[in-house]
Amino acid sequence: MESKDLFGVPWEQRLNRNAPPAPVPASTGRRYGAAVIDGTLAIVCAGISGLHHVLGLPASKVLPLTDGTLWLRIFSVGIGVSLINHVLLVLLFRCSLGKLLVGTRVVRLSDGGRPRPWQLFGRWIGGIAYGLTILPIGFILGGSDAPPLDFAGVRIVTTVGTRTGQA
């Protein structure tokens, strides 16, 4: 069995100076910056949808905040925008809107190629679970200096070399 690096490229090929360089993992700041932009996009779209729902009601009808229709609409639009942004856009363009703005993209961990749809969906589900549970708990407990983990077989890398066809 031959020895491979993190992206599954044999070490012998990595030693070849003519081989393209491996993608550079994105810094923590870029990763969290993209997450904040993507999260803000989903929240703003959900809020606009909820506001549109409230403003579309007749003036004589008072909307109780316990109305399930309003909250279902807000939740559905937020989840839908997040799903489209993190799965469909990454599948088509290798980056979400937030990743595009901070200069990162998503690649397969095994070979640096395009991620598969099931990998992106798993990453999206894991990101929601991580963002709504572990991240707030870690923040309350003082945080950690550990870098974010790559899971679902994908990695976030910088876009260095993308224009020249490298990595």
Share of the chain above pLDDT 90, in %: 47
Q: Does residue 32 lie within any of the structural domains?
A: yes
Q: Does residue 10 lie within any of the structural domains?
A: no
Instruction: Please state the length of the chain.
Output: 167
The token pair that represents 60 in the structure block:
């004589």
pLDDT of amino acid 17: 60
Given a contact cutoff of 8 angstroms between Cβ atoms, the answer to whether 120 and 154 are in contact is: yes
Q: Does residue 49 lie within any of the structural domains?
A: yes
100: CB partners within 8 A, 6+ apart: 93
Q: Does residue 3 lie within any of the structural domains?
A: no
Q: Does residue 20 lie within any of the structural domains?
A: no
Q: Does residue 2 lie within any of the structural domains?
A: no
Residue type at 131 in one-letter notation: G
CA distance 165 to 50: 43
Q: Does residue 126 lie within any of the structural domains?
A: yes
pLDDT of amino acid 59: 74
| Segment 54-83 mean pLDDT | 86
Is residue 161 over pLDDT 80? no
What pLDDT band is residue 1 in, cutting at 50, 70 and 90?
low
CA distance 153 to 141: 28
Q: Which domain holds residue 37?
A: 25-158
Burial class from Cβ neighbours inside 10 Å (0-12, 13-18, 19+) for residue 56 reads: exposed
pLDDT digits (tens, 9 = 90+) for 118-145: 999 999 999 898 888 888 888 888 877 7
| Segment 77-97 mean pLDDT | 96
CA distance 108 to 53: 40
The token pair that represents 70 in the structure block:
């309003």
Torsion angles phi and psi, residue 134, rounded to 5: -70, -40
pLDDT digits (tens, 9 = 90+) for 11-35: 555 555 665 666 788 988 999 899 9
CA distance 97 to 59: 37
Q: Please give the tally of structural domains in the chain.
A: 1
Q: Does residue 6 lie within any of the structural domains?
A: no
